[in-house]
């Protein structure tokens, strides 16, 4: 039986470790890493111009919805703005959705606020299996309020494609 030196064992350990590392990298490339399919799509909202509760402010005017899907959850974000630095207002949004393919329906509620110079964002999440697949009609209804009063906005909406 040949005698192995410590140097020979170290070299063999390094080669074995390198082979394992190369195998792991190759396996991850073949199998894919993570959820690279989490793509965000943007869809227009129609007829969403409404008065701000601050009256002499930028109108409450969400113009689009961002839709993404990640790990079995659908995420939707609707943005709106205000020019009154440091004042802004609160907004309670109701998002009614109807899947035009499956006829499934639902309602989501979000309370958010805009405090300029930041943008207000309505965030909605739900299980993707409930929301999709196919085209989904969205109807957005909001009530916007400042320290003095609340002003309901007229409903508006659009159609998105569920991931």
Query: Tens digits of per-residue pLDDT, 84-99?
Result: 777 889 999 999 999 9
Tokens describing residue 139: 């109807």
Residues 18 and 58 grouped into a single domain: no
**Are residues 27 and 82 both part of a single domain?**
no
Domain extent for 3? 1-33
Q: What does the pLDDT average to over 139-162?
A: 96
- pTM of this prediction exceeds 0.85: no
Residues 28 and 44 in one domain: no
Q: How far is C-alpha 102 from the geometric centre of its chain's CA atoms?
A: 22
- Ranges assigned E (strand) in 59-132: 64-70, 73-80, 89-99, 105-114, 120-127
Q: 153 or 115, which is more confident?
A: 153
Domain CATH code at residue 61: 2.60.40.10
For 53-86, write each residue's pLDDT tens digit. Answer: 998 888 999 999 999 999 999 999 999 988 877 7
Contact (CB, 8 A) for 120 and 88: yes
Read off the pLDDT of residues 33-44 as tens digits, 9 standing for 90 and up.
444 566 899 999
């Amino acid at each position: 039986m040949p005698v192995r030196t410590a140097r020979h064992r170290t070299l063999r350990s390094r080669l074995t470790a390198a082979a394992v590392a190369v195998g792991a990298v190759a396996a991850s490339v073949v199998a894919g890493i993570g959820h690279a399919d989490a793509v965000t799509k943007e869809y227009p909202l129609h007829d969403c111009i409404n008065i701000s509760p601050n009256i002499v402010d930028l109108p409450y005017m969400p113009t689009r919805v961002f839709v993404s899907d990640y790990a079995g959850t659908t995420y939707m974000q609707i943005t709106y703005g205000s020019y009154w630095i440091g004042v802004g207002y609160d907004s309670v949004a109701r998002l009614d959705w109807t899947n035009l393919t499956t006829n499934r329906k639902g309602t989501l509620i979000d309370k958010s606020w805009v405090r300029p110079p930041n943008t207000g964002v309505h965030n909605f999440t739900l299980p993707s299996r409930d929301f999709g697949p196919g085209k989904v009609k969205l109807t957005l209804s909001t009530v916007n309020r400042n320290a003095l009063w609340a002003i309901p906005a007229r409903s508006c909406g659009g159609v998105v494609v569920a991931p």
